[in-house]
Amino acid sequence: MSIELVVFDMAGTTVRDKNFVGIAFQEAMKTAGYEIAIEDVNPLMGYEKPVAIKMMLDIFEADKDKITEELIDRIHTEFVEGMIAFYNTTQDIAPLPNVEETFSTLRESGIRIALNTGFSRDIAEVILRRLNWEDKIDILVASDEVADGRPYPDMIKKIMGALGIDSAEKVAKVGDTEVDINEGFNAGCKYVIGVTTGAFTREELLPYNPTHIIDDIADVVRIISSNRTYSTQE
């Protein structure tokens, strides 16, 4: 069955990220009094951000009565405001190598292009606007537009419904984190492709058994074109 849709993550997969997201998350936690090492933050960056905040609090807050929705919302608001300010003004925002060319090649072949993200919609739209990607993709779905973000399949299912894709066997998912991989498998995607340009190295992706691991996003075209099956070593 041919692929009709590729769902790409944003930061670290298609958008260059010099750990801007992790640092912003770290700073938001710091405003609430939590000093957290960046090494502890980075593995959670694919999650919906309020979920990641709750996960951090569960680890670093001994008094569980302090972990309230109000606290999570306050930290998340700090994160969102910091990210929007950053992406509105930074000169460092850019596509990762070969991303736009890959989008064009896939669309020329009749394959739909979607972005999904652990960001909220307001952050994602700033990135889309700054990169002038509105006409380069078919749809964007953010984590706050569904009931459950990654690793649940809700975002992919929403995208499929909006684009009229009737089977996950026609879908490939591409991302740079554990939760991207698990999201793809939970959705039943034919290809679940890990990319090493973001938060996880090849060695860190391997335990999650993506169908492929790539160092260059352009290899997505080769994988889809060759119609290969399981190959985590590529």
DSSP 82-144: HHHHHHHH-S---BPTTHHHHHHHHHHTT-EEEEEESS-HHHHHHHHHHHT-TTT-SEEEEGG
What are the angstrom distances between the C-alpha of 153 and each of 33, 102, 122? 33, 24, 21
Quick: pLDDT tens for 174-206. 999 999 999 999 999 999 999 999 989 999 999
- Residue ranges, comma separated, of all CATH 3.40.50.1000 domains in the chain are 5-16+94-226
In whole angstroms, what is the distance from residue 216 CA to residue 174 CA?
A: 11
Quick: pLDDT tens for 126-180. 999 999 999 999 999 999 999 999 999 999 999 999 999 999 999 999 999 999 9
Quick: pLDDT tens for 71-117. 999 999 999 999 999 999 999 999 999 999 999 999 999 999 999 99
What is the reported pTM? 0.88
- Residue ranges, comma separated, of all CATH 1.10.150 domains in the chain are 20-89
Domain covering 20-89 assigned CATH 1.10.287 in the classification: no
The answer to whether 180 and 194 are in contact (CB under 8 A) is yes
In whole angstroms, what is the distance from residue 55 CA to residue 83 CA?
A: 20
Q: Which CATH class is domain 5-16+94-226?
A: alpha beta
What the block records as the tokens of 171 is 């879908």
Angle of CA points 14, 19, 23, to nearest 5° = 135
Residue listed under structure tokens 């009709």? 4
In whole angstroms, what is the distance from residue 39 CA to residue 22 CA?
A: 9
Q: Does residue 20 register a pLDDT over 80?
A: yes
Across residues 226-231, what is the average pLDDT?
52
